[in-house]
Structure 1
Amino acid sequence: MQVEDRLKELKVTINKKVPRGVTVTDVEFEGPEMVIYTDDPKRFAEDHDLIKTLARDLRKRIVVRPNILGDTEEAYDMIKAVVPESAGITDIFFDTDTGEVLIEAEKPGVVIGKNGSTLRDITMKTGWTPKAARTPPIPSVTIKQVRQYLRESRDERKEFLRKCGKRIHRDSIYTGRDHDQWLRLTTLGCCRQVGRAAFLLSTPESKVLIDCGESPGATGAASSPYLNVPEIYPFTNLDAVVLTHAHLDHSAFIPLLYRYGYDGPVYTTPATRDLATMLQLDYLDVNNKEDRAPPYSSNEIREFVKHTIALGYGDVTDIAPDMKLTLHNAGHILGSAIAHFNVGNGVYNVAFTGDLFYGKSRLFNPAVSQFPRLESLVIESTYGGSDDFSPSRVEAEERLYEVINETLGRGGKVLIPAFAVGRSQELMLAIEEGMRNNRIPKCKVYLDGMIKEATAMHTAYPEYLNTDLRNLIFRDNYNPFLADCFEQVDSYDKRQQVIFSEDPCVIISTSGMMNGGPVIEYLSNLAESPKNMIVFVGYQAEGTYGRRIQKGWREVPIGKRGTIVINMEIQTVEGFSGHADRKQLMNYVQYVQPKPERVFTIHGEESKTIDFASSIYKKFHIQTVAPQNLETYRMV
């Protein structure tokens, strides 16, 4: 049956199910959603169980849109009257193509109302379909640009969503022929190494790529996944891309797919979409500054944004005729997700952890470990070696306070290379509390690179933060990210002022592995003085400047800057990583439910992935594999 015929049948079925007098004029697939067009959106809003009932019976994600839209000025006044003033509305945008009205507010929960009551009231009174979005307490340039671009490209995006919907809901070729069903996993990167994450799930019906990142510190072909092999190329054969989180070793090369023919969706969380956009733009900027030809342009990043379909945690979503995706919290960075795939309507289930943290941090809750069904688990092994045991966060913070006190006490500067997303915010929270509780002297903490922008996004998406931090910001009205000790470095002159000032201070700067970014400028000028200290708090990949300095190199050749002599003190403070250590990883495998039949250990140095796989097999008697790149495994 053709998609158009199926839509006609669905329209007839829906008209039989809706109350008498309610007319469904059209039904369309737009991406994974089924959109119902009606002259009676208010009737749908009045019966708030109607959409839930239709979604359950038809097993589709359903959106209702009106055919006839009310006057925008009248609707604007009505929304202002319906929504309590305490919501703090900052913007109202009407999309006449979709019939949706985006309401940006300081407290979107007030716009939504209890169980969605205020949203339903808006629809009943205006006919428009409302969506609530948070106004970031710290203005985010990236979020503003992303939302503006999505508004400007709404016609193209609507066309893309309809095309995507038809591809998702196309007829299944192998329905009813169980002997022809199979599932294969192909490793295109990130195996027995950290970086260039890329995995391909293939069935007779579909091909789905999970992540597509760079290899930190590598150059040339070694920096990207194997994208020229017949399993994945041409990219037009891909049904979908799933992005687990925003870090460049998982997201950097997704725009490249659009440069070479891909025109399909990227499924990820809204926070990951925005963070990845920020990091990809910075990736281009760093390439240009270092006279390296970037692999794509900002045009392809815009294509990535336009083609992204944002999902919340727990949303079960059709992404191909025979594949459903559900994203779950991974505890690693803002919006990071474990991608769970249900293949062939329950024939096989596999979860990709991406990067995960299986403990509570200052920012996030622990990674989810409970799934409806699970046959295979693909798990990271960054700290999977037998000796990779990290101290607790409490111990890590105590050690951080010690090295800061020591350096400030001798009049020096503390330089902390940190990833803009995740580690920087953990450090900010720990340092702010340390100063507030007089554990360390009050001083300026300078933030350089994209840290301020990334921090703004954390306050724009508080639903991803743990309960304690959300309550502190929104119930107790204290935002530690806005503390007086933090100061943004946003110019060359300001950076020079920080470097040459006599005042002791803390500097948190990107990039986290010192393979570019403003941290190199600080290193060049601060390295000579033994009063200063460089403190590593995150993973340093082989081949990066950070790894060399961490190993104790005292002379480091850095591109055009020549050789930097390191006299400053070098310290590593373990325990701040967003990756699970060996104990957490083993605990995760122990407590994950259901118990998988097979575990693949990836995203780690060769010795660590092999050690971790061997330990899982010995302790839990689960079949394990530490795959190499360019291998294919049949799952079914």
Structure 2
Amino acid sequence: MNSLEPITELIESEVPDDVSIARVTYEGPELIVYTDTPRKFAENDHLIRQLANEVKKRITVRPAPGTQTDPSTAKPVILDLLPEEAGVTNLGFYPATGEVLIEAEKPGLVIGRRASTLREISQKVGWTPEVFRTPPMESSTVANVRNFLLQERDERREFLEGVGERIHRERTHETEWVRVTTLGCCREVGRASFILSTPETRILVDCGDKPGAEGEVPYLQAPEANPIAALDAVVLTHAHLDHSALLPLLFKYGYDGPVYLTQPTRDLMGLLQLDYLDVAAKEGRTPPYGSEMVREELRHTITVDYGDVTDIAPDVKLTFANAGHVLGSAVTHFHIGDGFHNVVFSGDIHYEDTRLFNGASNDFPRAETLVMESTYGGRDDYQTDQRDSEEKLFELISETHEAGGKVVIPAFAVGRSQELMLVLEEAMSEGAIPTMPVYLDGMIREATAIHTAYPHFLRDELRQRILHEDDNPFLAEQFQQVDGGHDMRERIARDGEQCVILSTSGMVTGGPIMSWLELLGGEPENALMFVGYQAQGTLGRRIQSGRREIPFESRGRRNNELTLRLSVASVSGFSGHADRAGLEEFVRTMSPRPERILCVHGDESSTDQLSSGLYQDLHVRTHAPRNLETYRFD
């Protein structure tokens, strides 16, 4: 019997006689019910919830083609139902799926109390509304990703139905074991990648590059990863390139399955990967894939919200929880078999609240095995309290301002830049530092615009400020985009105005930060301030460690070396990673506490010391794996 037949029969037996079921299908993990009577469904707001409880699936109801009001008639009816202050910016009708997509500045006013306005729209016109937020800062990435996925809607529906069939296929194997194979990021930072496998299923978790080490990629040639085309799923914990950069390569190798991630991770991933290709081209390197593979990857994405339990294979359920690291980052929980084993991948985490995010979540129904990041896992890796760090930063900025200099801060476009923007905006508004321009160079403004599109992923207080107090700190007037290329950088460098410059790349591995070093590095009144992790092998780490003669390529220079005379300082406390105390506390307070921990994503001393410390303090079995090791859990 087809797996949908019993579900269809159950749904048909539960709905009232005046409700007609045209078709039931899976689209990825979601159950879609097409109906010839969409208005009747909308009138009974308890019916969908009742059916979802019966079939134990999330259900979306859509009108069967031809049952909706004509779009030209439906549009004014919908707009009349919506309050003007909702700020509707776009309305699109998609007859193949029976959906009307509504983009608005204030989606909550479109949705209404307990989704009452959405139900009213369905009752009046028969279309199923889906609501998106219009970013308060214009974002080409958000617009391009949304438009691309809308254009591909019919093709994606066919893809999703195929994924649904694979997820809900009949099991052919008993769940007798679970294995985790390390393809990268063991005793090193970067090229995060793992295979999670059962007798039934193989899932790839992350697929990143290694900062400052061209050519060091995950061991995708390992037997456990092959054939890549036959993987059941790919799961991405967050968008940073050391976790996502090489994911499009999978599609070059024939993978045609789903990529599970959060909505913000999807948009940021596309932004960072396209920049990755652009930087490679500018540096004369041949990238491992082209932009068409990024589009192919986006076409295969399935977004999952925090807390939603989602079937991704016949024997695996996925749940994301907030990781507190960057926008959309997720601690990833896999429930395997019928309670056989539970594996949690921390991804990158920040355990304490920051200005930008709530701290990482560590509360799960069950968790036998934890794969744990160890970036700051060394016994001496204790970061300064953020408030103390901010005061040190303010002192350094004020000193540089008084000396007539400019402050250059290498910053990751995603995460640290937005955290610093919040810190600087508040400091200037309260007089802790002089008010001055803050220039955003590289992808920082675009990444910030993506943050404004997803305020529900931000810290509670910041979300309240943006959504309900109409006070968006990212729109402060001192933030100015460097959009004139090198000419604008030269003008900023030449004028006598003090300023702060936030520039990518965060580890000084290329990008506009190199221009700022050339333009400002020779003047002792200027300052270079590191606020983020500098991986081994990167130029940032060498400068941080005291090197002042650095390799430099420039057409206008007679030699390939640059002498830095500006002051150099490091301010800890702004990292998106938990320090040693935060990592220990994440495990200590984890509910339930895992039985086994694999310490990964840190250099050799960090993984060894964190593994040893957790074993001694918490009496948990711990390991510091090497790459290409496999751990079996029975």
Band the TM-score falls in, shorter-chain normalisation:
over 0.9
**Which structure 2 residues correspond to residues 189-338 of structure 1 after superposition, within 5 A?**
189-220=184-215, 222=216, 224-338=217-331
Counterpart check, 1:9 vs 2:26? no
Alignment pair present for 1:186 and 2:194: no
Structure 1: tracts of 5 or more residues without a match: none
Provide the rounded CA distance (Å) in 2 between the counterparts of 1:455 and 1:345.
41
Q: Which amino acid aligns with 1:504?
A: Q
Out of 90-99 and 418-427, give the one that drifted further: 90-99
CA shift, 1:566, in A, is: 1.2
State the one-letter code of the partner of 2:94.
Answer: D
Q: Is 2:388 the partner of 1:384?
A: no
- Percent of residue pairs bearing the same amino acid type: 55
In structure 2, the residue corresponding to 1:594 is in which secondary structure? coil
Match for 1:348: what amino acid? H
Q: Give the alignment's Cα RMSD to 1 decimal.
A: 1.1
Q: Which amino acid aligns with 1:551?
A: S
- Tell me the SS of whatever aligns to 2:177: coil
CA separation in 2, counterparts of 1:339 and 1:49?
A: 31
Residues 528-587 of structure 1, C-alpha deviation per residue, up to 9 Å, x if partnerless? 111111000000001111011000101111356721111111100000001000111111
Amino acid at match of 1:626: A
Do the aligned partners of 2:598 and 2:623 also contact (CA within 8 Å) in 1? yes
TM-score normalized with structure 2 length = 0.98
Q: Which residue of 1 aligns with 2:122?
A: 123
Q: What amino acid sits opposite 2:53 in the alignment?
A: R
Structure 1 residue 437 corresponds to structure 2 residue 430: yes
Q: 1:505 aligns with which of 463, 483, 499?
A: 499
Determine if contact 2:18/2:40 at 8 Å carries over to the other structure. no
Partner of 1:342: 335
The equivalent position to 2:549 in structure 1, one of 543, 555, 574, is: 555
Match of 2:105 in 1: 106
- Residue 494 (structure 1) aligns with: 488
For residues 585-636 of structure 1, what are the alpha-carbon distances to aligned partners after superposition, in whole Å with 9 as ceiling and x for unaligned? Answer: 1111100001111011111111001100100010110000111100000022
In structure 1, distance between residues paired with 2:353 and 2:432: 22
- The alpha-carbon deviation at position 117 of structure 1 amounts to 1.1
- 2:393 alignment partner, SS class: helix
State the distance in 2 between where 1:408 and 1:564 align: 24
TM-score (norm 1): 0.97
SS of the residue 1:231 aligns to: helix
Residue matched to 1:581 = 579
Unaligned runs of 5+ in 2: none
Displacement after TM superposition at 1:464 (Å): 0.5
SS state at 2:225 partner: coil
Q: Which amino acid aligns with 2:182?
A: T
Distance apart, 1:69 and its partner CA:
2.5
> 1:408 matched to which residue of 2?
401
**Structure 1 residue 354: deviation in Å?**
0.4
Q: CA deviation at 1:154?
A: 1.2
Residue in 2 that maps onto 1:542: 536
1:402-454: CA deviation from partner (whole Å, max 9, x where unpaired): 11011111011100000001000111111111111111111111100000001
The answer to whether the 8 A contact 2:27-2:163 is kept is yes
Where 1:216 maps in the other structure, the secondary structure is coil
Structure 1 Cα separation of the partners of residues 527 and 444 of structure 2:
20
Aligned match of 1:521 in 506, 515, 536?
A: 515
Alpha-carbon offset, residue 57 of structure 1: 1.7
Asked whether the equivalents of residues 191 and 243 of structure 2 are also in contact (C-alpha less than 8 Å), the reply is yes
* Regions of 4+ moved over 3 Å: 558-561
CA contact (8 A) 2:3 2:169 kept: no
Structure 2 contact 490–519 (Cα < 8 Å) conserved: no
2:600/2:625 contact within 8 Å kept:
yes
More moved, 59-68 vs 603-612: 59-68
- The answer on whether the counterparts of 2:599 and 2:610 sit within 8 Å (CA) in structure 1 is yes
Cα shift at 1:17: 1.0
Shift of 1:9: 2.4
| SS of the residue 1:439 aligns to | coil
Residue in 2 aligned with 1:47? 44
* Shift in Å, 1:65: 1.1
Name the structure 1 match of 2:565.
567
Specify the SS of the correspondent of 1:503. Answer: coil
The alpha-carbon deviation at position 8 of structure 1 amounts to 2.2
Structure 1 counterpart SS, 2:267: helix
